[in-house]
Amino acid sequence: EEVTVAPEARIPRCVNPRIEVAIIVQEGTLDVTLGRERTTVGPGDTVLVPAGTSHGFLNRYDKPARVLFVFPEHQVEQVLASVPGATSGFLSEQGLSGYVSPEDRPLEHR
């Protein structure tokens, strides 16, 4: 599945309980939360997410990011995730509306 993350948009944290996923960045730059870790990825980078690990993406940059999600099977179960004891994410997430980027709806700034 290919997804475009608009500037100032995010894909909220979620968990795929029973399968792993590979996320390949094709264009742009994203900040990634993987479990309790944070990193920045760009074109050509791949993020491997083990089953049961929370992950989310934030585009704080001025260009859209295009990513490819690769699942080992067609029936994908995914649930939104909150990680107890972990930080709420990047400081720049404060006040974000929670829209997800696939609909290309920009986040409102408060």
97 is a domain residue: no
23 is a domain residue: yes
Q: For the whole prediction, is pTM greater than 0.85?
A: no
d(CA 18, CA 10): 23
101 is a domain residue: no
* pLDDT tens-digit readout, 56-101: 999 999 999 999 999 887 665 666 666 555 544 454 444 444 545 4
In this predicted structure, what is the pLDDT of residue 72? 80
In this predicted structure, what is the pLDDT of residue 18? 85
Domain count within the chain:
1
46 is a domain residue: yes
The answer to whether residues 25 and 43 touch, using CB atoms and an 8 Å cutoff, is yes
94 is a domain residue: no
- Residue 71 belongs to what domain range? 2-75
What CATH number is attached to the domain comprising 11?
2.60.120.10
38 is a domain residue: yes
Length of the chain as a residue count = 110
59 is a domain residue: yes
The answer to whether residues 67 and 55 touch, using CB atoms and an 8 Å cutoff, is no
